[in-house]
Amino acid sequence: MNYANYPTPIWISECNWKITARETPWKIDAIIRDGYKCVDCGNGNSRLIIHHIDESRKIGKLNNELSNLVTLCKKCHAKRHGLISKLNPILLKLKEYVPDMKIRNGTLTYVANEMGCSRERVRQIAKMAGYQPAFETARYEKIESCWVCGKKFSKSNLSQTNLFCSPKCSIIHNEQKYWDIYQCEWCKLYFKNRRKLQKLRGQRFCSMSCKGKWLASKYGLGTPNNSGLCKKYPSNEVIRIDFKEPFTTKEFAKKYGYVSSIGARNAITTLLFNDVIETYKVKGLYRIKN
């Protein structure tokens, strides 16, 4: 059979599908014959298992004839083997200790010790029968409002630190909490600085170049080098013409001849402060504001 003519199921990768077709083609034949679905419940969205009707796997000699194979999902396969039957003693003990189908911490270990089997075996049977851990059922019950944008989002009851709907809002909150925008006394451009440092040092200039120029003009303390750190940007109309597409700080510095990215960053901060540009999708990418 040419398996390339048949589609790959959604629950397996194309690579693993090809490996299965090469090593165990009888599995692929059974799945294709049953229409990529469980023959008992009709589920085709989860992983399917090939079941031997005569249970020849227990004997050790597999009967891989197509008439002896049937396609089942994990839950129906467990039912066929009697793992989640009503008479299973492990399930009866689970129903006794967990009537609400929500497993608490230590319950599986206690049931395993009572029944004399491994905890992993109890966990597998509980999962097949539809039991859920208690923390998973309560994980998305709490609805909170984002501290930055006010958007409603689902919050885990176990996580008390998740206060924002997205990483972008978290970054905005940190910048609002620890950073602020100040104006340079020499070039009149705006720069960002931490509030704590600004309170301790009282920084008045965006760079050492601006500080040197200010000292040279006021006190005549040497001739400042024109490094181009705080070279002013062109008018807003020119920027709107030059950058019709989103741009980065490096592209801005190269376009207008900044020697360092510090001056370009200060110019971009000024444009953001004056609502000429805005951030676009990711941090470090900007576009002209309409």
Question: What pLDDT does residue 70 have?
Answer: 92
Phi, psi at residue 160, to the nearest 5°?
-100, 0
The pLDDT of residue 137 is above 60: no
In a domain? residue 122: yes
In a domain? residue 169: no
49-63, 97-111, 155-169, 189-203: segment of lowest average pLDDT? 155-169
The pLDDT of residue 136 is above 60: no
Q: Which residue range(s) make up the domain with 122?
A: 89-137
The pLDDT of residue 25 is above 60: yes
Residues 95 and 129 in one domain: yes
User: 228-287, pLDDT tens digit by residue?
Assistant: 556 677 788 888 888 888 888 888 888 888 877 778 888 888 888 888 888 876 667 888
Q: How confident is the model at residue 157 (pLDDT cuts 50, 70, 90)?
A: low
By the 8 A CB rule, do 170 and 164 touch?
A: yes
Question: What's the mean pLDDT in 161-185?
Answer: 78
The pLDDT of residue 158 is above 70: no
In a domain? residue 284: yes
In a domain? residue 198: yes
Please state the domain count of the chain.
Answer: 3
Residues 271 and 223 in one domain: yes
Question: What pLDDT does residue 71 have?
Answer: 92
What mean pLDDT is reported for the chain? 79
